Chains A and B, each alone.
Chain A
């Protein structure tokens, strides 16, 4: 046998495939390719100056365990509910007036007169319930799948803080329409808070900004509702997501690790 083979002759030009080839030294060959090149240029320019692509790959292209299912989307669903609340809330703030004498009128204006106002307020009002339901389902999923165990305990703790902050959002947001229902619900809520021994009386004075429901109670609730708590939620959500990417997700409890055959002793 010869130790070498002659090179096979190339096919005749007529039979060679007409696959598109990347642009050579002559530059892009058409408008589509020019646009693609432009896009690549922009991304390259950004990446060269920020090194973002590594972080994005780290965040987006993670390994997930076998058995990952739809229940694992509840956390992202909660996050999107929060984003929806944030966006609709910002636009509601353009019309809302947190003064005790004008708050109800401004909400009435949003619902009855402003273009798409009823829709945006409806999104915010019903979306709040959706967010609470989703965050509870997400918590239940984490609990029943045992996903809170080592090394994810800290993420559970952050999640509980996020749950409490979400309830704080519900409580402070409930007052803002300033109708009879929200007024009395807030009175009752603040008084429940006041039943905590020793600190309760001072805490409810802090919430109301005084001994009675006063001139600045509504604006105080409004500031907590649209600045303080959303800021904390966004920050903690970032930490929550970082830990998810860092630690990875768990397999569902019904998945068993495959054991190496040679390591299993024969049962007697």
Chain B
């Protein structure tokens, strides 16, 4: 067991740190959260900057350990979050890289890496959430096109996306996992209506997408017809593992800031609150170690991180909510003022035990796939 960087890792870390120190002061100011075109331009600009410096494909090419260092160092330095590039870099891109034809890879991957095109995700539907395979958006063949009708929900960046990685039902008669197809849908196609959804935090972080006889060329299908579920699983497993590296680093920084604030406003003298902060320090230290453990395992096994991601997500999502509930106790009455720091983050944290697989679904996964308990109701 060893936690130190190898000489190569140390070199990568030092080079990245030096580059971040030079480049970050030159970035333009961050756009306001409501300015979607501004956010798109800012996020793509950062990806372009990464591309020019040779860091663009670190998520695709580098080992899990190097990816961890990249995410750790960029977060520590306060570099921009992947933002609008998320689906392209971490969902659609890896899927196309693994399952696409040479032509499809050549068409779609370079613009993702160069920060030229934004992807969004059309998976969930109003009646297909935890039971994703129950999705009902239909697609049927008409000449060289699929014609798609239905609706998608929880689609982030839909307003500014160029492409949508879309799951559609192509065989309604087949068992539900076997009648699904993966399509790349151009977001400027006729028949697409995007309706922003306002979250409980007050902001429009994602949208509903309505599809009314949208034509998607058959050449935009990745993988075989009706094989989309398997194709999608490649994407979903990619999301786990290093997915929360930056966030854990950020949570640990917030924890330090909370301690300083508590000390300033006197609530540090409340032993119960102080010890809760201490316990959260233990919690996030442990989550950081668990990340390092998973990454080391992934590196040694040579494959993608597996269901261990569910163990991590269960604990992390809960810890994040506890962190911001504790932040509210540090703030006291000020926790009711949405202009105060951490208040908006507290609201956002409520999605963590729901998004990307609810905690209840994650517990089923852990119990059935790791512990081997029988499937049931």
Decide if A and B are genuine partners.
no
